[in-house]
Structure 1
Amino acid sequence: MSDTAPTEDTTIPVTVLTGYLGAGKTTLLNRILSEDHGKKYAVVINEFGELGVDNDLVIDADEEVFEMNNGCICCTVRGDLVRILGSLMKRRQKLDGIIVETTGLADPAPVAQTFYMDEDVKRATRLDAIVTLVDAKNLAARLADSKEAASQIAFADIVVLNKMDLVTEEEAAEVERRIAAINPYAEIRRATKSAVPIETVMGRDAFKLERILEREPTFLTEDNHSHNEDVMSLSFEVDQPLDEAKFQNWIGELLQTKGQDLLRTKGVLAYAGEDRRFAFQAVHMIADGDFIGPWPEGSPRKSKIVFIGRDLNRPRLRRGFESCVATEASTATGAGAE
């Protein structure tokens, strides 16, 4: 852990606020900015349309607010996001964090990909969490008429289930069931008028797989097949060590051919001849991974992987993952290939 500390000390955490139209994103943003936390945040707001109004809805605070109009942050203006982040990096010592509020029509994936694809951004920032606001009263309707609503939940590290004052306990439980069916690994926080403790959505380091494993050691252990509309989650595990080269070749080809349907991919892998755990995660076809330290004492060295996406072929994914198991020769030598 000590070798990762300097990186965390020098990079700026970025929180992405997403959620369908009217879910309460701006209300939560205002709560964050008005909280007496003593921190300095830069805010990037994206609206769809030539004339923006969200900027006018954000409270008058000391924070710097950047507005990107005439395009969704997940497509035409991602270059603007990179440029804005680049300008913020020049005064990173003055910032405690960056908040990106996306338009309610946005797929969060390209936003997350920005922090993988641009080397300067990747070096200076870290994606802290994707926080999705959900309208408890209207979620069922949104899932029925918008695939973006399901994608926003699928990508979430934290879901703020908002407008709880408008639903009964039975209705709330059903909404939580629908959320868990799309993304069983997201942390759900109930709220009215977006009122949640700021520490539950900011500074969580939730996008990092190793942090999730520290908090929830059994994460990735369930073999789930659940879905809501066309979004599903599948998870697999193998007891034998994996051949690193086989896995990298397989996952690389899979992400290239199926990446548009794979919203989030996460895994903890045991490579042959390696005593450390390898944490893997991907957003669509953009992947990242690193070793995260030794296996906990007494913990079985199983490789586990989770896919959240659309139109996923369970048998094919299982066969592909199992095909990455190392041969006896590579297990004995620690080689990465047969």
Structure 2
Amino acid sequence: MMNAIDKIPVTVLTGYLCAGKTTLLNRILTEDHGKRYAVIVNEFGDVGIDNDLVVDADEEVFEMNNGCICCTVRGDLIRIIDGLMKRHNRFDAILVETTGLDDPAPVAQTFFVDEDVQSKTKLDAIVTVVDAKHLLGEIDKAHEAQEQLAFADIILLNKIDLVDARELTEIEARIRRINPTAVIRKSERCQVPLEEVIGRNAFDLDRVLEIEPDFLEHFHDHEHDDHVTSFSLTSNAPLSPEQFFPWIQSVAQHFGIDMLRMKGIIAFEGDDDRYVMQGVHMLLEGNHQRPWKPEETRLTRIVFIGRNLPRDIIEDGYKRCITGAQSRQQ
């Protein structure tokens, strides 16, 4: 049985066509970086690895000469991961590429819903590779490009050498309109230290908040015509847990298909600990993080990212969580 410390970190890699995913995968599978990665791809041939780089191969698992392992998803992802975990002492982390999928959600959800996978692995981050040269031209035509940005914990803004400073500023602003909370790393030909995109534990909101306590505070709503929109709900007044949990479950149930990501810090009435919650589609997870500090404002902050979510309906239910707490205090 693996404990939490032993769990293998998993990075989900996505990105629109020609963004640079193949370049990044080739780096991981061929460079002498001192780490051992198991890389799961849809089709081995798409990665373009030369045959002389393959040390050993069976039907689905290929060992590279730098110690990494490459797998092809010809069947069920859960089965592939289960097979990998039988050799978990041969690699340090897993990277799953989502080529051919509209969004990384089905892969990410695997690490929520399958108990066996969850007991052996942990979702480290969803990384989206972006083509700086073509993003602005693609983003209005391809909803997939917006959704891949929406799911990201880390965005690798690639090919920045092909745009000028003004264009780069505009690109970053457009990304922030869709996803205000992701970490952005800039690169040319994906030449970014791998430790900046892999092994960051960026999906763990508890960990992110410990490093950046104001992570969700400096967020402003945006009015725009993107397919994917984002907004935040805040309150200085405490929330009623009896109202909040049924409400957020109802939001996930009714709008989960269109709720791509949700992240929040909640201040409950009579609770001296911060409650941290996040979600992917209809799947929610949350727990107490740490005590509120004496000098800390007990501010609730929740960010929603999704496809044209009905803010008025969601906000109305949120306000009822506040009034529910206030009514009991009267």
Call closer, same or farther: CA 1:104–1:216 in 2, change over 3 Å: farther
TM-score, with length taken from structure 2: 0.89
Aligned length: 314
Q: Deviations over 1:139-178 (max 9, x none)?
A: 1222122111101111111111111121111111111111
Matched to 1:64, the amino acid is I
Partner of 1:17: 13
**Stretches of structure 2 lacking an aligned partner (at least 5 in a row):** 55-63
CA shift at 1:221, angstroms?
A: 1.8
One-letter amino acid of the structure 2 residue matched with residue 63 of structure 1: C
TM-superposed deviation, 1:127:
0.7
Match of 1:167 in 2: 163
Per the alignment, residue 186 of structure 1 pairs with 182
Q: Which residue of 1 aligns with 2:262?
A: 265
Distance 2:263 2:159 in 1: 30
Q: Is contact 1:223–1:236 with CA below 8 Å preserved after alignment?
A: no
Q: CA, structure 1 residues 114+331, in 2 after alignment: closer, same or farther (shift >3 Å)?
A: farther
Contact 2:180 2:219 in 1 (8 A): no
Counterpart of 1:215 in structure 2 is 211
Which of 285, 310, 314 is 1:313 aligned to?
A: 310
Q: For residue 105 of structure 1, report the CA deviation from its aligned partner.
A: 4.4
Give the letter for the 1:66 counterpart. Answer: C
- Matches of 2:283 and 2:83, distance apart in 1: 24
Who is 1:32 aligned against? Answer: 28
Q: TM-score, normalised by structure 1?
A: 0.87
Alignment partner, residue 57 of structure 1 = 49
User: 1:178 and 1:228, CA in 2 relative to 1: closer, same or farther beyond 3 A?
Assistant: farther
Alpha-carbon distance, 1:21 to partner: 1.1
> For the residues of structure 2 that align with 1:211 and 1:7, how far apart are their CA atoms?
18
> Does the aligned pair in 2 maintain the 1:116–1:122 contact within 8 Å?
yes
Structure 1 CA distance, aligned partners of 2:71 and 2:118? 20
In structure 1, the partner of 2:59 is none
Match of 1:154 among 128, 150, 153: 150
Q: Take 1:151 and 1:294, find their aligned partners in 2: how far apart are those partners?
A: 34
Question: Structure 1: which 5+ residue stretches go unaligned?
Answer: 1-5, 70-76, 333-338
Alignment of 1:120-135 (within 5 A): 120-135=116-131
Take 1:148 and 1:127, find their aligned partners in 2: how far apart are those partners? 22
Residue equivalent to 1:300: 297
Structure 1 residue 322 corresponds to structure 2 residue 319: yes
Task: Name whichever of 299-308 and 216-225 sits farther off.
Answer: 216-225
RMSD, aligned α-carbons: 2.1
Q: CA deviation at 1:316?
A: 2.1
- Secondary structure of the residue aligned to 1:174 is helix
Structure 1: which 4+ aligned runs deviate by more than 4 Å?
A: 328-332
Q: 1:228 to 1:132 in 2, by over 3 A?
A: farther
Contact 1:181 1:228 in 2 (8 A): no
Partner AA of 2:95 in structure 1: I
